[in-house]
Amino acid sequence: MGAAGGGRGYGSPAPQRAPWNLVAATAALCLLSATSVRTAAAAPMSREEKQRLGNQVLEMFDHAYGNYMEHAYPADELMPLTCRGRVRGQEPSRGDVDDALGKFSLTLIDSLDTLVVLNKTKEFEDAVRKVLRDVNLDNDVVVSVFETNIRVLGGLLGGHSLAIMLKEKGEHMQWYNDELLQMAKQLGYKLLPAFNTTSGLPYPRINLKFGIRKPEARTGTETDTCTACAGTLILEFAALSRFTGATIFEEYARKALDFLWEKRQRSSNLVGVTINIHTGDWVRKDSGVGAGIDSYYEYLLKAYVLLGDDSFLERFNTHYNAIMRYISQPPLLLDVHIHKPMLNARTWMDALLAFFPGLQVLKGDIRPAIETHEMLYQVIKKHNFLPEAFTTDFRVHWAQHPLRPEFAESTYFLYKATGDPYYLEVGKTLIENLNKYARVPCGFAAMKDVRTGSHEDRMDSFFLAEMFKYLYLLFADKEDIIFDIEDYIFTTEAHLLPLWLSTTNQSISKKNTTSEYTELDDSNFDWTCPNTQILFPHDPLYAQRIREPLKNVVDKSCPRGIIRVREESFRSGAKPPLRARDFMATNPEHLEILKKMGVSLIHLKDGRVQLVQHAIQAASSIDAEDGLRFMQEMIELSSQQQKEQQLPPRAVQIVSHPFFGRVVLTAGPAQFGPDLSKHKETRGFVASSKPYNGCSELTNPEAVMGKIALVQRGQCMFAEKARNIQNAGAIGGIVIDDNEGSSSDTAPLFQMAGDGKDTDDIKIPMLFLFSKEGSIILDAIREYEEVEVLLSDKAKDRDPEMDNEEQPSSENESQNQSAEQIISISPTVDLVDQETPEESSLNSPPESLSPADTEDAANISPPEQTSSPPANHETPSLDGECTDLDHQLEEQSETEENSNPDVSWDKKAQPIDSILADWNEDIEAFEMMEKDEL
């Protein structure tokens, strides 16, 4: 485990307790000095190549922004597959994700300052005029306070900051008279009613027109919010106060932060993921640096930089030390429980944590930043993008990727700090992958599944607000940007706020600085910036040496269960506790251990076995702890295995002009016909069958002969449709859902089941598309007549030739996947099927993933099924790289323990009633873990 961040000491004296106005400037200078350092670790990139890549970023931005303006504006976002705007209420609801959409031309506002960074001043001027002319902030729509703050308020303030900068330069925006700021102020006042709680924590949602309380508001009944939601306001709200002189905004944001700080778990100094806005109780007590918490930490450090208030730095450093002690397990960052921080809460990480290395650069802690970034890069190299969540052994947990910018952000900051051209190469890879896999004729489409390469009809506004800024800045030289970027700080949405705000209207910070922080010891103030001048000139290979051991961390990783197990058992030579993956319900020794742990087996009427733990029945507090961990493992195992047993989705890729393979649709597989993951993909032109439902002999065999036949779902079994089109000579089939408006964005995919008879006679591949995806093909036929598609398990290369050659990386990947299957863990879990005769459930969307059906119990399969030999967790992978995992864990834990002598983990001293007191909390936390939404 990493040591605490304090006193890492990368160089000369820190700007300790400097007056806050100086601190802001110093932070900027630190980054500035970093740019002058160049190491020789990787071959330098020529200026021409950097310029070429910068220009490529500009072209990509034009493609994304141009298509938004042409096809979507004034809607909030572009739907790049169907080339239209996403208007809330007109599309099927996607749940919380839609709370960012307030019918206020979100993407335009979020893009404002990107236009200036990319030197598109003319377009910026046009865009500002459009915002002033068209945007209405008074819509009867319920929006997320957090998203509206970071994207819209931040976007308006970023736009204002650069508008006044341009005006002062004397060439552009001469007509500008703080209109964006006035809009920002109007929006600020609209958000204030959300803070009307006794705690001062804001409600998570507000109605832009009716606020919170009015009956028409349709919100205001929520009790919980996420920590990041309540703790990511200070930059925008303070900037609004300081720009306008209206102190109320900064006051409210400070109050919310003060409350969160008060509520931190006092022994671990960590915060949970969600909190009750009325009582201040932690609702979810798991803690990490990703989803739900991320930007709370970011804003503490950046509030110190922008506002110069020492109390924010002190809080940040306190949390940071806790993160490095408990959550950081280099190169991993793993969630833990706030009150039991040595206990991992998950075995997977989410993509949002990719911002953290960037924050560590700002903090000055370069080594772990390099390590985590390198690990993330290895995951990206395997899957082309960072999946929304991935396990500690780097398998995909949630396969989506909505074009998030966090990794690009960290890449930029690491390049600034190290000057290592390696990070330019990383940026180049990101650009290539975006163009190769996400670019579609109408913009860039989010990845629905990084494994198949299929798309989702969304292009989030943060893609324009953040991704293009960080990528452009990565390759830009100082003279490529029309202002000095070092004079600004990036908000979490990459909006730019000027550092000079630190000296403007500072009355609020003076008024509210509590005496608690006025006499702090100097030791509370760590470095805020890496002293790269000292660090790198002496050791130009510094970053490379840190990265080197991690080069194969993904490819050569072995399956890992719970990373942290009770280490002292190993050290004392005691038998390691029973692991869920080893458990056999027929093994009497295991049953005895279960009993000791207070876990009982209940045989359900339907033949399943349910595990229930009562800590009070455990033989000792240690056994109760083991039981707790065992239950957690069992729940995670069930969830993981459910996923592994499901057939992965398939892809329908449109390969003919003008798509050239760029549009990839998520498709459901069939339980009959050839398995596309084993057989070569099928490619052919599409033709509709007659009758369209394909339920009888086709009347147009000449039209479908040698083609891929389209049939509509319904009226007969899938297998019958397959036989009818096969008899007509079709080489494949696509069943399109008859339920109008259905989409894989909103409905879980399923696999088409057979008809209960032998289906070996079906020799053609069949895939299923929901109506929305199907209509993309039908529209294409209407427009281009000849439409050729590829049916496969994974999208193929997207060059105009669309040659059929498999990429070497795909081969490696399928080898890796088969390796994963061979070593997958064996206790069979219960899959409660609720299938209609013709379908069975495939992947559920993340929000519906739940670890177990019951609240405090894990269901497993009947004992006879679990008696199959359990997977040996020492089983070598196919390339022979995996060795004794427990031995490694033992070594690791000893190192951790030695480096943290003050970590108390002596559970023997903990009385059973104190364990019981925590018990319900643990169970709740486990239940919530996988319900997490990003």
Q: Which is nearer to ligand DMJ, 293 or 553 (CB)?
A: 293
| CA atoms of 80 and 78, how far apart (whole Å) | 6
Alpha helix locations (H) across 513-655? 532-535, 542-547, 567-571, 588-596, 621-645
Q: Which is nearer to ligand DMJ, 462 or 750 (CB)?
A: 462
Q: Catalytic: 568?
A: no
Which segment (357-365, 400-408, 689-697, 828-836) binds ligand DMJ by CB under 6 A?
A: 400-408
| Smallest separation, CB 934 to ligand DMJ (Å) | 8
Structure tokens at 554: 């993904």
Q: Which is nearer to ligand DMJ, 295 or 775 (CB)?
A: 295
- No. of H helices and E strands in the chain? 31, 32
Instruction: Determine phi and psi for 914, rounding to 5 degrees.
Output: -75, -35
By C-alpha distance, which of 133, 76, 64, 65 is closest to 101?
A: 76
In sequence order, the 6+-apart residues with CB closer than 8 A to the CB of 549 are none
| Smallest separation, CB 784 to ligand DMJ (Å) | 35
Q: Which is nearer to ligand DMJ, 395 or 495 (CB)?
A: 495
| Smallest separation, CB 462 to ligand DMJ (Å) | 4
Binding mask 36-75 for ligand DMJ (x = CB under 6 A): ----------------------------------------
Q: Which is nearer to ligand DMJ, 310 or 406 (CB)?
A: 406
Which listed residue (295, 372, 742, 843) binds ligand DMJ by CB under 6 A? 295
Question: Given the structure tokens 């339907």, which residue do they identify?
Answer: 606
| CA atoms of 102 and 107, how far apart (whole Å) | 11
Q: Which one of the listed residues 91, 110, 123, 147 is annotated catalytic?
A: 147
| Of residues 318-357, those binding ligand DMJ (CB under 6 A) | 352
| Smallest separation, CB 232 to ligand DMJ (Å) | 7
Side chain identity at residue 585, one-letter code = A
CB atoms within 10 A of CB 283: 18
| Smallest separation, CB 804 to ligand DMJ (Å) | 35
Number of residues that bind ligand DMJ (CB under 6 A): 9
| Smallest separation, CB 376 to ligand DMJ (Å) | 14
DSSP track, 696-708: S--S-HHHHTTSE
Question: Given the structure tokens 């099928």, which residue do they identify?
Answer: 682
| Smallest separation, CB 466 to ligand DMJ (Å) | 6
Which segment (175-183, 398-406, 801-809, 813-821) binds ligand DMJ by CB under 6 A?
A: 398-406
Which segment (3-11, 399-407, 431-439, 517-525) binds ligand DMJ by CB under 6 A?
A: 399-407
Which listed residue (492, 528, 724, 726) binds ligand DMJ by CB under 6 A? 492
Q: Catalytic: 793?
A: no
Which segment (200-208, 404-412, 804-812, 823-831) binds ligand DMJ by CB under 6 A?
A: 404-412
Whether the CA torsion 335, 336, 341, 344 is positive or negative: it is: negative
| CA atoms of 67 and 444, how far apart (whole Å) | 9
Which listed residue (462, 468, 470, 659) binds ligand DMJ by CB under 6 A? 462
Q: How far is CA 767 from the centre of its chain?
A: 29
Asked whether position 493 contacts ligand DMJ by CB under 6 A, the answer is yes
CB atoms within 10 A of CB 35: 15
| CA atoms of 132 and 259, how far apart (whole Å) | 36
| CA atoms of 652 and 725, how far apart (whole Å) | 18
Q: Which is nearer to ligand DMJ, 100 or 275 (CB)?
A: 100
Integer angstrom CA distances of residue 496 from 55, 229, 742: 22, 20, 40
Asked whether position 775 contacts ligand DMJ by CB under 6 A, the answer is no
| CA atoms of 872 and 719, how far apart (whole Å) | 39
Question: Given the structure tokens 């105009």, which residue do they identify?
Answer: 800
Q: Which is nearer to ligand DMJ, 352 or 599 (CB)?
A: 352
Q: Which one of the listed residues 236, 365, 388, 466 is annotated catalytic?
A: 388
- Asked if 706 and 738 count as a contact pair (C-beta separation under 8 A), the reply is no
Q: Catalytic: 147?
A: yes
| CA atoms of 929 and 901, how far apart (whole Å) | 30
Q: Which is nearer to ligand DMJ, 295 or 724 (CB)?
A: 295
| Smallest separation, CB 295 to ligand DMJ (Å) | 4
Q: Which is nearer to ligand DMJ, 369 or 628 (CB)?
A: 369
Pairing of strands 205-207, 142-144: antiparallel
Asked whether position 404 contacts ligand DMJ by CB under 6 A, the answer is yes
By C-alpha distance, which of 692, 75, 745, 56 is closest to 429?
A: 56
Q: Catalytic: 294?
A: yes
By C-alpha distance, which of 783, 806, 927 is closest to 855?
A: 927
| CA atoms of 542 and 518, how far apart (whole Å) | 38
| CA atoms of 320 and 8, how far apart (whole Å) | 12
Structure tokens at 802: 């669309």
Which segment (325-333, 391-399, 403-411, 729-737) binds ligand DMJ by CB under 6 A?
A: 403-411
Cis ω for the linkage preceding 74 (within 30 of 0): yes
Q: Which one of the listed residues 406, 633, 745, 896 is annotated catalytic?
A: 406
DSSP track, 593-606: HHHHTTEEEEE-TT
Q: Which is nearer to ligand DMJ, 150 or 923 (CB)?
A: 150
| Smallest separation, CB 64 to ligand DMJ (Å) | 15
Whether the CA torsion 131, 134, 139, 144 is positive or negative: it is: negative
Considering just the CA atoms, what is the radius of gyration of the chain in Å?
28
Q: Which is nearer to ligand DMJ, 380 or 776 (CB)?
A: 380
Q: Which is nearer to ligand DMJ, 150 or 790 (CB)?
A: 150
* Three-state DSSP state, 736: strand
| CA atoms of 192 and 171, how far apart (whole Å) | 36
Which segment (24-32, 307-315, 402-410, 826-834) binds ligand DMJ by CB under 6 A?
A: 402-410
| Smallest separation, CB 406 to ligand DMJ (Å) | 6
| Of residues 692-711, those binding ligand DMJ (CB under 6 A) | none
By C-alpha distance, which of 358, 349, 227, 348 is closest to 295?
A: 227
Which segment (401-409, 544-552, 816-824, 856-864) binds ligand DMJ by CB under 6 A?
A: 401-409
Q: Which one of the listed residues 77, 91, 99, 294 is annotated catalytic?
A: 294
| Smallest separation, CB 85 to ligand DMJ (Å) | 19
**Helical pair 179-191 and 121-134, crossing angle rounded to 10 deg:** 50
By C-alpha distance, which of 307, 249, 248, 251 is closest to 502?
A: 307
Q: Which is nearer to ligand DMJ, 94 or 404 (CB)?
A: 404
Asked whether position 107 contacts ligand DMJ by CB under 6 A, the answer is no
| Smallest separation, CB 492 to ligand DMJ (Å) | 4
Which residues make beta-bridge pairs with 350? 389
In sequence order, the 6+-apart residues with CB closer than 8 A to the CB of 839 are 750, 751, 752, 753
| Smallest separation, CB 687 to ligand DMJ (Å) | 41
| CA atoms of 220 and 204, how far apart (whole Å) | 8
Asked whether position 420 contacts ligand DMJ by CB under 6 A, the answer is no
Task: Give the residue numbers annotated as catalytic, written as ranges.
Answer: 147, 294, 388, 406
Report the interface residues with ligand DMJ, using CB under 6 A: 150, 295, 352, 404-406, 462, 492-493
